[in-house]
Amino acid sequence: MIVHRHLFGPGPTNAYPEATEALARPLLGHLDPVFLEIMDETCARLRETWGTAANRTLPLSATGSAGMEAAFVNAVHPGDVVVVAVNGLFGQRMCEVASRCGAEVVPVEHEWGTPVDPERVVAAHPSPAIVAAVHAETSTGVRSDIAALGRAVHEAGDALLLVDAVTSIGGIELRADDWGIDIGYAGTQKCLGVAPGLAPYTIDERAFARRVERPRSWYLDLGLLGGYVGDTRGHNPARTYHHTAPVAMVVSLHAALGRILEEGLENAWARHEAAGQALQDGLETMGLELFARAGSRLPELTTVRVPDGVDSAAVRRTLLERYDIEIGAGVGEYASSVWRIGLMGPNASPDAVRLLLGALGDVLGR
Amino acid sequence: MIVHRHLFGPGPTNAYPEATEALARPLLGHLDPVFLEIMDETCARLRETWGTAANRTLPLSATGSAGMEAAFVNAVHPGDVVVVAVNGLFGQRMCEVASRCGAEVVPVEHEWGTPVDPERVVAAHPSPAIVAAVHAETSTGVRSDIAALGRAVHEAGDALLLVDAVTSIGGIELRADDWGIDIGYAGTQKCLGVAPGLAPYTIDERAFARRVERPRSWYLDLGLLGGYVGDTRGHNPARTYHHTAPVAMVVSLHAALGRILEEGLENAWARHEAAGQALQDGLETMGLELFARAGSRLPELTTVRVPDGVDSAAVRRTLLERYDIEIGAGVGEYASSVWRIGLMGPNASPDAVRLLLGALGDVLGR
């Protein structure tokens, strides 16, 4: 039985048709010259999408959460102070992952629904090795100002800036080099419009020079992964076998990035902005209250309070069963009091807005 | 440009048509009830394929090499003695991965091309915590007798038996419970006939009880992953969000396992056996010399010596360019003196044997 869902939750989203078509192509060997060229182009397209010139920009062979692990396991030396801006679940997770890597973690807690405050983050410790933050908090629908955080961090000292861009990449403005992001990771299943399974990753020269030489993880060891993707700038592209690349997923990511760059990154951002704004306006017109603080709302992921007396899970179940529409529950203490509605990748469209508002209005009787 | 290759190397192999069809289906949310049912069935099918009743049998969200890492990172306590039977590249890699996890590694070296000797392995240390071995060495085409190793290890003490089944699962006899395998990992891109990207994994109660409570890897923490797949036996299937499952890959694996179990595991093994035997007979008839020791040759992966005076890389290039056939080079010191020819998954067929022998005979002029 084939089920067609409208994936309007916090991810995965529906895939771009180009990504689906590529996923089903005949497989290539992971050392086939045709595949190596696709891998090189994928890395080049990821550089453009991240807004970076960093040579070590590649798709890690696991989901976005492994990107977080790769970020810390390669960067944290035992006892390093890592300041983590926490304004949702993924900031909390950063603390846990960094701690397992041997960091002395200094969390800077923010109220959920609010953005990261660069001044408080920088004031938390005089000389951290790393400052980490989430660009787009998937748990709350909040956008933090990474440009401002980058300025503050780099003015204050020589800490590395480590950023989670899982829900921002391809959906809102992201400029890794301009903003001073030294290490970044993302996922494919949000605004890039690809199935989950890869973690787009970037690390600049400064961070690479300070990396852990023999990290605890062999699979995510960036020193070894450099040989795996080769010198993707085309100079002496010797390849070292590290692991078998997930070829179908890489070919699919390559196709989706091609589609996004053909549309134009800024056009894709504008499309997400328009869809998100229309959705948020429509929800407020319906009398619903948005959760994330005004001025820091993500267009690609909207959080909305469940009205008093409404059974959150029952609404989600009805949307799924009657309309094939998935939306997400809230997280943690907001599990049953907030919904999360994503319009990402191909779903950042006026049609999706109309469909979602119409169906939700029906179910709520508004 | 769509390229159709015959993937007759050491993996990835071409996918079963059922796996490709499933990969291109509309995406499901990772918490969708339809997907959760597919995940549960996938775990059940994996149990059957591993030959185990172990509840904690699941597809890890990364490639086979991450399966190796998960095996050690959850099992090795600091200073644990880990005896590794080394008869090829993947045994060597086990030593490296176990060492990064804090093990005191005792490697037991074997000549490449020969199987693991259970007596030597057991004699290497009086009380190891773990004994590890590769069932089907992808670097040499050798099958080791894991049933015999399991008997020897479990008679000698209470060490856990940790086995790499990347190239054996779905292609040759594998009986995890009967053979006393406590921890096993595999890949999807060999005899299971699925794209690379997942690591089928199994761990029994005994090994789970001795696991590291808070392993260095958050992503591969089996304690957390238990909640991710739920209680896959259907009792109180509460799910805990851990990471977003690579839904397309899981759905594809589910379909391939369905096809294999419909054929019957023993029939699939017999098909691989027949194809491999026909290939090896044909290569010897052509005057070529097989590399792996007689009696321990894998049917799904044949290693053959490059004839004197023949340029290994030129032959591989000609096969690829003229016939769209990929075969593999050798590994390490055998890089240019051995070829590796895989007939795995859908390629374990008389047609593939004829095609490969015909093309190779043409290129070699034999």
The model's pLDDT over A105-139, given as tens digits with 9 standing for 90+, comes to 999 999 999 999 999 999 999 999 999 999 999 99
Decide the pairing of beta strands B136-137 and B142-143. Answer: antiparallel
B97 touches chain A (CB under 8 A): yes
> Is A244–B64 a contact, with Cβ atoms under 8 angstroms apart?
yes
- At B231 the pLDDT is 58
Average pLDDT rounded to a whole number, residues A303-314: 97
Q: Please name the residues in contact with B264: beta carbons below 8 A apart, sequence gap of 6 or more.
A: none
Average pLDDT rounded to a whole number, residues B355-364: 98
Average pLDDT rounded to a whole number, residues B211-225: 95
Average pLDDT rounded to a whole number, residues B138-167: 98
Q: Are B134 and B87 in contact, with CB atoms under 8 Å apart?
A: yes
Least Cα separation, residue B159 to chain A (angstroms): 23
Q: Are B71 and B183 in contact, with CB atoms under 8 Å apart?
A: yes
DSSP for A119-169 reads: HHHHHT-SS-SEEEEESEETTTTEE--HHHHHHHHHHH-SPEEEEE-TTTT
The residue of chain B with its CA nearest to that of A1 is B34
Q: At what angle do helices B350-364 and B312-323 cross, to 10 degrees?
A: 120
Candidate from A14, A15, A62 with C-beta closest to B219: A62
Decide the pairing of beta strands A199-203 and A183-185. Answer: antiparallel
C-alpha distances in angstroms, B305 versus A243, B10, B71, B273, B281? 24, 15, 33, 21, 14
| 8-state DSSP, A332 | G
Confidence check: pLDDT of A102 > 60: yes
Candidate from A15, A30, A245 with C-beta closest to B27: A15
pLDDT digits (tens, 9 = 90+) for B262-319: 999 999 999 999 999 999 999 999 999 999 999 999 999 999 999 999 999 999 999 9
C-alpha distances in angstroms, A110 versus A140, A327, B234? 12, 25, 39
d(CA B321, CA A159) in angstroms, rounded, equals 50
d(CA A306, CA A315) in angstroms, rounded, equals 10
Least Cα separation, residue A340 to chain B (angstroms): 14
Instruction: Identify the residue among A5, A84, A139, A244 best suited for mutation to test binding to B, counting B beta carbons within 10 A and taking the highest.
Output: A244
> Is A244–B34 a contact, with Cβ atoms under 8 angstroms apart?
no
Q: State whether the Cα torsion B78-B82-B87-B91 is positive or negative.
A: negative
d(CA A239, CA B92) in angstroms, rounded, equals 20
Hey, which residues 185-204 in chain A have their CB within 8 Å of chain B?
A: 187, 189, 195-197
Q: What is the dihedral of CA B293, B109, B339, B257, to 10 degrees?
A: 90
> Omega into B12 within 30° of 0, i.e. cis?
yes
Secondary structure of residue A6 in the 3-state scheme: strand
Q: Indicate the annotated binding residues of B for substrate.
A: 340
A258 touches chain B (CB under 8 A): no
pLDDT, greater one: A227 or A16: A16
- At A90 the pLDDT is 98
> Is B100–A2 a contact, with Cβ atoms under 8 angstroms apart?
no
Single-letter code of the amino acid located at B1: M
pLDDT digits (tens, 9 = 90+) for A132-162: 999 999 999 999 999 999 999 999 999 999 9
Q: Which residue has the tokens 């005994």?
A: B206
> Is B66–A97 a contact, with Cβ atoms under 8 angstroms apart?
no
Candidate from A15, A66, A196 with C-beta closest to B219: A66
As a whole number, the mean pLDDT across chain A is 96
The residue of chain B with its CA nearest to that of A14 is B27
> Omega into A10 within 30° of 0, i.e. cis?
no
pLDDT digits (tens, 9 = 90+) for B43-84: 999 999 999 999 999 999 999 999 999 999 999 999 999 999
- At B240 the pLDDT is 79
Range with lowest mean pLDDT among A133-137, A235-239, B323-327: A235-239
Q: Where in chain B is the domain with CATH 3.90.1150.10?
A: 6-13+264-364
Does residue A340 have a known ligand-binding role?
yes
- The number of helices, as runs of H, and strands, as runs of E, in chain A is 13, 14
As a whole number, the mean pLDDT across chain B is 96
Confidence check: pLDDT of A312 > 80: yes
> Is B62–A65 a contact, with Cβ atoms under 8 angstroms apart?
no
Least Cα separation, residue B139 to chain A (angstroms): 12
Q: Please name the residues in contact with A87: beta carbons below 8 A apart, sequence gap of 6 or more.
A: A109, A110, A111, A112, A113, A114, A115, A116, A134, A137, A140, A142, A144
d(CA A183, CA A105) in angstroms, rounded, equals 17
Confidence check: pLDDT of B236 > 50: no
Topology (CATH) of A6-13+264-364: Aspartate Aminotransferase, domain 1 (3.90.1150)
Instruction: Identify the residue among A1, A6, A218 best suited for mutation to test binding to B, counting B beta carbons within 10 A and taking the highest.
Output: A218
Least Cα separation, residue A109 to chain B (angstroms): 21
> Is A26–B4 a contact, with Cβ atoms under 8 angstroms apart?
yes
Q: How close are the terminal C-alpha atoms of chain A, in Å? A: 33
Average pLDDT rounded to a whole number, residues B96-119: 98
The architecture CATH gives domain B18-262: 3-Layer(aba) Sandwich (3.40)
Q: Are A46 and A258 in contact, with CB atoms under 8 Å apart?
A: no
> Is B100–A218 a contact, with Cβ atoms under 8 angstroms apart?
yes
CB contact burial A30-66 (16+ within 10 A = b; e otherwise): bebeebbebbbebbbbbbebbbbebbbbbbbbbbbbb
pLDDT digits (tens, 9 = 90+) for A315-365: 999 999 999 999 999 999 999 999 999 999 999 999 999 999 999 999 999
Secondary structure of residue A315 in the 3-state scheme: helix
> Which residues of chain B have a CB within 8 Å of the CB of A66?
61-62, 219, 243
CA A207: distance to chain centroid?
A: 20
> Is B63–A195 a contact, with Cβ atoms under 8 angstroms apart?
no
> Is A249–B244 a contact, with Cβ atoms under 8 angstroms apart?
no
> Is B197–A30 a contact, with Cβ atoms under 8 angstroms apart?
no
Q: Which residue has the tokens 């010259």?
A: A33
Candidate from A1, A7, A248 with C-beta closest to B27: A7
- At B237 the pLDDT is 52
Q: Any bridge partners for residue A301, and if so which?
A: A342
Q: Where in chain A is the domain with CATH 3.40.640.10?
A: 18-262
Range with lowest mean pLDDT among A163-167, A231-235, B97-101: A231-235
pLDDT digits (tens, 9 = 90+) for A9-40: 999 999 999 999 999 999 999 999 999 999 99
Confidence check: pLDDT of B196 > 70: yes
d(CA A18, CA B352) in angstroms, rounded, equals 31
- At B228 the pLDDT is 79
pLDDT digits (tens, 9 = 90+) for A36-59: 999 999 999 999 999 999 999 999
| 8-state DSSP, B233 | T
> Which residues of chain B have a CB within 8 Å of the CB of A29?
5, 7, 9, 12, 326
> Which residues of chain A have a CB within 8 Å of the CB of B32?
3, 5, 320, 326
Hey, which residues 325-354 in chain B have their CB within 8 Å of chain A?
A: 326
B95 touches chain A (CB under 8 A): no
pLDDT bracket for residue A232 (50, 70, 90): low
C-alpha distances in angstroms, A213 versus A209, A224, B101, B199? 9, 10, 15, 26
d(CA B76, CA B317) in angstroms, rounded, equals 42
Least Cα separation, residue B30 to chain A (angstroms): 7
- At A227 the pLDDT is 78
Hey, which residues 207-236 in chain B have their CB within 8 Å of chain A?
A: 214-219
- At B227 the pLDDT is 78
